Structure 1
C-alpha cells in the first residue's frame, strides 16, 4: 500500500510546523524521514496515523484520501508506533498489550481465536519478547516496552507501519535486530530516525526535512552528502563506504560543528525543491 503526501501543511498552537511537504512512501519499501529536532518529522507522521489533521494538503493511502476513510478501515491497514506512549501505566501483561493489536479485527466483546493467538505469539517472538509474555508491561525497561509496542503494531497485521524513532531506548543489538526485522517484513514503512547511519543502511529512500519542508529526497547515497549534512544538520562529515555492507557510512567530525566560512566548497543554502534528488 503506497503513501502519497501532497502539499501538506500542519499547524498547531498558532505555528506552522509542516509547510508544503511532498513525499512518497512506495509499496513494500522502507522510507525514512531524517532532519534536525523540530524539523517536523513527528508532526508529519502524526497526520499519517490520524493523530493530527492537516490544515492544507492531503495524505493518500493507495490513492484514497485518508480523511475519507473510516477509522476502522485505517486501524486495519495502518499501525503506528508513536514517540508519545499512553501505555506506561497499563496494569496489563506483555501478552495482553500485544493482543490489543488484534482489536480492529474483533467484534465487541469477542474473544481470541487460534489465529489471534498465533499472530500474537509470532509478534512476540519476532521482537525477542516471547519469554516475557506473562510479565507486567509497567515493570519493563524502556527498551523492552519499545519492543512490546512494536510487537503490538505488528500483531495488527497492517499494510503500512508508521514508526517515530523506533530505536529509542534500545541497545545496539536490539536496534540491529529491529531494523533487520523491518527489512525482512517488507511492509510499506514510513519511519523517522535520528541515527543517520541506521537510516542509510535500512531505508530504500530518504526524505530530509528542514524547517517543516522536504529539502531533499532520494536514495540514501544520493541524499546524504557532506554538503547537505553541513547545511541541514550543521556538522562536518565525510561519507564513505561501510567496510562490511557497502552502505553509505557517515564519519562525523566530533571536534567542531561545520564552519562553512572556512570551506572553499561551502554548500549553498538548501531550499525546498532546489537540489533535491528525485523528489
Structure 2
C-alpha cells in the first residue's frame, strides 16, 4: 500500500527535530531511512505508526491520513517493530506472536484456526518454528527480536515499519531477515545504520541529516563518496558487490574524512 509522508514537522519539548520531510514508498517498495544518530529517522517512523503526532504535515497510508483511522484500522494497515521493545512479557512465544491478531478480533474473542495458521507461518518465517511454548522472557535478545518481528508479520499489515530490526541479530539471522523483507514485497519503511545492508535490501534510500531529507534515490544514486563524507563524516569508496552487484561501501578506517568536505 502506497505510503506518503508529506511535509512532516515534529516538535519535541519545544525543539523541532524533523522539518519538511517528504518520503514516498510505493506499493511493495522497501524504502530505507539512513543517517547519523540524531538525524530524525526514528522520529519519522514513529509518526507512521502513530506513536508521535506531528506538529505539521501528515502521513497517508493508501488513501487515508493515519491520524483519521481508528486504532484497529490503523493496526490493520501498519505494523511496527520499534526500537523500544518490551522485554518482560510473562507470556509464551506463541502468545506474544498471537497478539498480532488482535486488530482482527472482537473484544475477548479467542483464536480460531485462521489465527493459529497465521501465527505458525510467522514463526516459521523468522526461524522460530517449534519454539512457541518457550517463555518470551527467557529468550536471548536476538530471539526476542525475531519473535517481535513474527508478531508484526502476524498482524498481516499492508505497511511494515522497522526501526533498526537487525539489532541483536547474528550475521546469519541478519541476512535471513533482509532476504525475507525482499521476498515479501510488502510496502516497508526501514531505518538502518548498516549502509551496506540498506544498499542490499532497499529499493530507494532517503538520507536524513539534522532533521531533514538531504538525498533520495536508489542506493546507487544516493550512496556516493561525497555524500558519505558530508553526512556521515567518513572516507569511503563505493564498489560493486562481487556476489550481488549491489553497491558495496568500503570504509577507510585509517583516515576519517574532515566534516567540511562538500557534497559534489
Tell me the TM-score normalized by structure 2: 0.98
Contact kept? 2:61, 2:77, Cα under 8 Å? no
Q: How does 1:74-93 map to 2 (within 5 A)?
A: 74-85=74-85, 87-93=86-92
Corresponding residue number in structure 1 for 2:62: 62
Contact kept? 1:4, 1:63, Cα under 8 Å? no
Distance 2:116 2:212 in 1: 43
Deviation (angstroms), 1:267: 2.6
Contact kept? 1:98, 1:151, Cα under 8 Å? yes
Corresponding residue number in structure 2 for 1:44: 44
Distance 1:62 1:76 in 2: 12
Q: How does 1:118-133 map to 2 (within 5 A)?
A: 118-133=117-132
Deviation (angstroms), 1:131: 2.2
Q: How does 1:152-163 map to 2 (within 5 A)?
A: 152-163=151-162
Corresponding residue number in structure 2 for 1:267: 262
Tell me the TM-score normalized by structure 1: 0.93
CA deviation profile, 1:129-163 (whole Å, cap 9, x unmatched): 11211110000011000000000000000100000
Aligned Cα RMSD in Å? 1.1
Corresponding residue number in structure 1 for 2:140: 141
Corresponding residue number in structure 1 for 2:26: 26
Distance 1:23 1:75 in 2: 21
Corresponding residue number in structure 2 for 1:231: 230
Distance 1:251 1:151 in 2: 33
Matched position secondary structure for 1:39: coil
1:187 and 2:186 aligned: yes
Q: Which ranges of structure 1 fall in alignment gaps of 5 or more residues?
A: 269-274
Distance 2:89 2:201 in 1: 32
Distance 2:223 2:33 in 1: 12
Matched position secondary structure for 2:59: strand
Distance 2:6 2:142 in 1: 34
Distance 1:64 1:100 in 2: 25
Contact kept? 2:18, 2:212, Cα under 8 Å? yes
Deviation (angstroms), 1:260: 6.2
Worse-matched range after superposition: 63-72 or 176-185: 63-72
Q: Which ranges of structure 2 fall in alignment gaps of 5 or more residues?
A: none
Corresponding residue number in structure 2 for 1:73: 73
Distance 2:164 2:259 in 1: 29
Distance 1:105 1:116 in 2: 9
Contact kept? 1:102, 1:116, Cα under 8 Å? yes
Distance 1:132 1:248 in 2: 37
Corresponding residue number in structure 2 for 1:166: 165
> Runs of 4 or more off by more than 3 Å in structure 1?
none
Matched position secondary structure for 2:165: coil
Distance 2:178 2:10 in 1: 29
Matched position secondary structure for 2:47: helix
CA deviation profile, 1:221-243 (whole Å, cap 9, x unmatched): 00000000000000000000000
Corresponding residue number in structure 2 for 1:222: 221
Matched position secondary structure for 1:245: coil
Distance 1:173 1:251 in 2: 21
Distance 1:251 1:120 in 2: 40
